[in-house]
Each structure stands twice: as structure tokens, then as C-alpha cells.
Amino acid sequence: MEDTNFDVNKEKIKMEKDGKTIECDVLFTFECEETMKAYVGYTDNSIASNGRKNIYVSAFDPFKEEMELENITDKRELEMIGEVLEKIDKESKN
């Protein structure tokens, strides 16, 4: 995933990628004190080969006037996000 500008409109993210505007549904947002970053989980509603919706998570700075999605490449951040996704999945089954 490449860095992409986005606009948050409560439940949607509009992204410009490869010259196309893609509208994605925001699934969740959260902040992490350890990394001092905010994160957004979103989907373009495409389906992966396993039959589940593709879900993407990107970091962003909520205080920047022009917000940008940031790739997450740090192994600790990826592990933390995986734990958050597992927690969300478990809670959704209750």
C-alpha cells in the first residue's frame, strides 16, 4: 500500500490511488499511547481469496490539516494492530 491522501467523512474515506478515486468504508479508528499514533481500519468491500472482505489499516496524524495515510512497516506496530484486529473479531462474534 502506498502513501495516499484521504478525507474522512465520518464513515467514509475517499482516496486517490493510481489516478482513481476510491471510496472506502471506515470500520474503526483507535489511538495507541505507546506509538503516539492514530489508526484507521477501512475496507473497499473487495473480497479476498478466502471469502472475507479485505480490511486495511493505516496510521494517520489526526492533527494535520491535510491528512495522509501512512504505511505501517514497524514489526511491533504490525503485531499490535494484529492484536487489535483479533480483539475486534472476537467482540463481533459475541
pTM of the predicted model as reported, rounded to 2 decimal places: 0.76
Q: What is the pLDDT of residues 32-63, one digit of tens each?
A: 888 888 999 999 888 999 998 888 899 988 88
Model confidence pLDDT, tens digit, residues 7-23: 444 577 777 767 888 88
Question: Whole-angstrom Cα distance, residue 15 to residue 91?
Answer: 29
Domains of the chain, residue spans: 4-92
Q: Whole-angstrom Cα distance, residue 18 to residue 15?
A: 10
